[in-house]
Each structure stands twice: as structure tokens, then as C-alpha cells.
């Protein structure tokens, strides 16, 4: 399949899923419910979204700073502005094609800072792995602190359905398939490893592995850990401040902000830029705290639009700024 056709298909499928979720929520709404959603939009104080956007920008800046720490053990010291521009363009690319952003931001830094792209991919994988671990940690803490609300919701809506699907003979079937795939994969690996293509792939994986190992080689591990937690603290602050824009959500506390952050993050992963899924998961989460479904749905859209608008503006601005900032082909400083 041509690469361009595959890209178009990926975009279409993920966007269709998001739009389908929006349709599922809205097509059965009564006239009164539609009016309630519109009223929630009208009553919201959008001036209070401005602090949310600034905190969001700060989170992206410190993500760029943290990414630099992963490059230092490899002997590279890129410009913070270049890494920030790359991060924002990456987020912009993710709005178009899922997972394209990771490749895009690595390509940008490789081009302007003259760093091997395969090593950057390794640092990006390491960074994503740390973020996933922190998200899982936050989810565990959120459920543990709110067993009476979030814990029951997680058990009945997520854990029990997963257990049911994996129960019975299906478990053995899945295990058999997994073993077969491992054996076939090992045989295929041995065959490919002896070819020229295999040697090239091996070089790429070596670069990726060096990037992953950069975490262990860092001299500033403490700063890396601090920035990792600080980035998620900023994400939490965005959500907590976002509650202030609506009268109905203004009284919600830390627990609600943690819950919306956790389940909303899952929504951002599931569909194209989070469209459709993010709004539904925020709505369903806020129902646990007594927020009406129409208000929760409107809140989900307000927060999503604020984040998406920030990515669009900063992403396109970064695209313009990159060649201007790097005019003259500035050379990177290395060890």
C-alpha cells in the first residue's frame, strides 16, 4: 500500500471514530438537552480559560526541557527553543495523523540540531514510557483515594468487562496464539537478521536502544524525575483551573480534577486528537460528582477546544519560527 494512501486511511479511520462518538452522544439528545448544552456554553467564563492556556504552554516548555536531558548523555546539547518548537509541531502533527507527531518532532531536531534521528527516537520512546508509568500511577492513586466513587466506576465499567472478555477458554486460546506468534517471530527474526536489510534494521534498533539507555546515563536524574512529576502537576493544574470557568464545576475539588485528568488522558489517546472520546469520558467522569450530563459534555468541549486551539496556534507559529530562528544553519554545541 502506498505510504500516502496509508496516511489518508489512518486519518480517515481515526477521525471517523471521533465523529462517530460525537454522533452517538448527540443524535438522541432532546431539544431541552441541546438547549442545556448551548446554555452551558453561553454561561461559561472564557476569560478564566486564559490561565489554563498559559499553564498548558508551561507544560509543553518543560517537556522540551526534560527531553533535552535525555539527549545530553548521548553528547548533544540542542537549543531549548528548537526542542520546544519540535514538541509543538509534533502535537500539531498528531492532530492530523495519530503518532505522526513523535516522528515529526524527532525529524525536526535531527534536521536543525544534526542529531541522528534513530537516537532521538530512543529518547522519545523513553520519555513516553515514563509518562505512561506516571499516568498509571496517578490512576492508581486516584482510584485508591476515591474508592467510593471512582473505584466502583473503574471496577464495574472497566475491570469486570475486561475480566469477562478474557475469561473461560478464551484465555487459553489467546495464550496459544501468543506463543505461536513468539515462535514465528523468533524464526523470522533469525532469517531477517542475516540479510542486508536486517543489518540496517539492527543499526536503527541500536540507536533506539542507546536513546532508551540515556535515562540511566543521565547526570541530572533528579531533575528528570522532578520535571516528569512537574509536567503532570501542570496538567492537573490545567484541569483544576478549568473548573473555575463554569458555575456548576467551580466547587469541584482535587479528587474530581484527578479523575478527569486520568480518564480524559485516555480519551486523548483513543481518537484523533481526542475528538469525541475526550468529551464523553469527561462527561461520564463528572457524572460521578453530581454534574449533569449536558454540563459535563459542554465542559469537556470547552477544555478540549482550549487545548486544541493552543496546539494549533503554537504549532503553526513554531513551523514559521523554526527556519527564522535557525537562519544561517547554526551549529549545535556537543561534548
Question: How far is residue 285's CA from residue 262's CA, in Å, rounded to a whole number?
Answer: 10
pLDDT for position 154:
62
Query: Which of these, 261, 257, 242, lies nearest to 49 by C-alpha position?
Result: 242
Residue with cell 512529576: 229
Long-range contacts of 204-208 (CB under 8 A, 24+ apart): 204/118, 206/118, 207/116, 207/117, 207/118, 207/119, 207/121, 207/122, 208/118, 208/119, 208/121, 208/122, 208/125
Locate 158 and state its grid cell. 472497566
Using pLDDT thresholds of 50, 70 and 90, give the confidence band for residue 335: very low
Q: Is the pLDDT of residue 5 over 60?
A: no
pLDDT digits (tens, 9 = 90+) for 240-278: 999 999 999 999 989 999 999 988 888 887 777 777 788
Residue 299 main-chain phi, psi, to 5 deg:
-60, -45
Give 333's strand partners. 77
Q: What Å distances lie between residue 201 and 191, 193, 208, 237, CA to CA?
A: 13, 8, 11, 42
What is the pTM (predicted TM-score) of this model?
0.76
Question: How far is residue 119's CA from residue 3's CA, in Å, rounded to a whole number?
Answer: 24
Classify 273 in phi/psi space as left (phi over 0), alpha (psi -120 to 50) or beta. Answer: left
pLDDT for position 63:
95
Q: Vertex 145, ends 143 and 146: CA angle to 5°?
A: 65
Question: How far is residue 198's CA from residue 181's CA, in Å, rounded to a whole number?
Answer: 19
Q: Is the pLDDT of residue 111 over 50?
A: yes
Question: How far is residue 118's CA from residue 332's CA, in Å, rounded to a whole number?
Answer: 18
Q: Vertex 206, ends 205 and 208: CA angle to 5°?
A: 60
Question: How far is residue 113's CA from residue 215's CA, in Å, rounded to a whole number?
Answer: 20
pLDDT digits (tens, 9 = 90+) for 141-193: 888 888 777 766 666 655 555 455 555 455 555 555 566 556 555 555 555 55
Q: Is the pLDDT of residue 109 over 50?
A: yes
pLDDT for position 136:
85
Determine the 3-state secondary structure of 334 from DSSP.
strand
pLDDT digits (tens, 9 = 90+) for 206-223: 555 555 566 666 778 889
Amino acid at each position: 500500500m502506498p505510504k500516502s494512501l496509508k496516511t489518508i486511511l489512518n486519518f480517515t479511520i481515526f477521525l471517523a471514530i471521533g465523529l462517530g462518538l460525537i454522533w452517538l452522544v448527540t443524535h438522541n439528545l432532546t431539544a431541552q438537552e441541546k438547549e442545556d448544552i448551548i446554555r452551558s456554553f453561553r454561561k461559561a467564563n472564557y476569560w478564566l480559560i486564559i490561565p489554563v492556556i498559559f499553564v498548558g504552554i508551561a507544560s509543553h516548555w518543560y517537556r522540551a526541557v526534560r527531553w533535552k536531558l535525555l539527549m545530553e548523555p548521548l553528547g548533544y546539547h540542542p537549543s531549548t527553543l528548537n526542542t520546544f518548537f519540535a514538541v509543538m509541531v509534533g502535537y500539531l502533527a498528531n492532530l492530523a495523523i495519530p503518532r505522526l507527531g513523535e516522528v515529526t518532532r524527532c525529524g525536526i531536531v535531527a534536521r536543525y540540531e544534526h542529531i541522528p534521528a534513530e537516537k532521538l527516537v530512543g529518547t522519545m520512546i523513553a520519555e513516553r514510557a515514563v509518562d505512561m508509568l506516571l499516568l498509571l500511577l496517578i490512576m492508581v492513586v486516584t482510584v485508591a483515594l476515591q474508592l467510593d466513587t471512582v473505584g466502583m466506576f473503574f471496577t464495574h465499567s472497566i475491570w469486570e468487562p475486561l475480566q469477562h472478555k478474557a475469561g473461560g477458554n478464551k484465555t487459553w486460546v489467546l495464550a496459544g496464539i501468543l506463543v505461536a506468534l513468539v515462535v514465528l517471530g523468533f524464526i523470522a527474526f533469525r532469517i531477517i537478521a542475516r540479510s542486508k536489510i536486517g543489518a540496517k534494521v539492527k543499526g536503527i534498533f541500536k540507536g533506539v536502544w542507546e536513546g532508551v539507555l540515556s535515562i540511566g546515563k543521565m547526570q541530572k536524574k533528579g531533575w528528570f524525575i522532578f520535571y516528569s512529576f512537574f509536567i503532570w502537576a501542570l496538567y492537573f493544574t490545567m484541569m483544576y483551573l478549568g473548573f473555575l470557568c463554569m458555575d456548576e464545576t467551580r466547587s469541584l475539588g482535587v479528587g474530581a480534577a484527578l479523575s478527569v485528568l486520568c480518564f480524559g488522558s485516555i480519551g486523548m489517546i483513543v481518537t484523533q486528537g481526542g475528538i469525541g472520546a475526550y468529551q464523553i469520558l469527561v462527561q461520564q467522569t463528572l457524572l460521578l460528582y453530581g454534574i449533569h450530563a449536558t454540563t459535563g459534555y459542554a465542559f469537556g468541549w470547552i477544555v478540549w477546544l482550549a487545548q486544541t486551539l493552543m496546539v494549533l496556534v503554537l504549532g503553526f507559529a513554531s513551523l514559521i519560527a523554526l527556519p527564522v530562528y535557525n537562519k544561517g544553519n547554526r551549529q549545535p554545541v556537543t561534548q
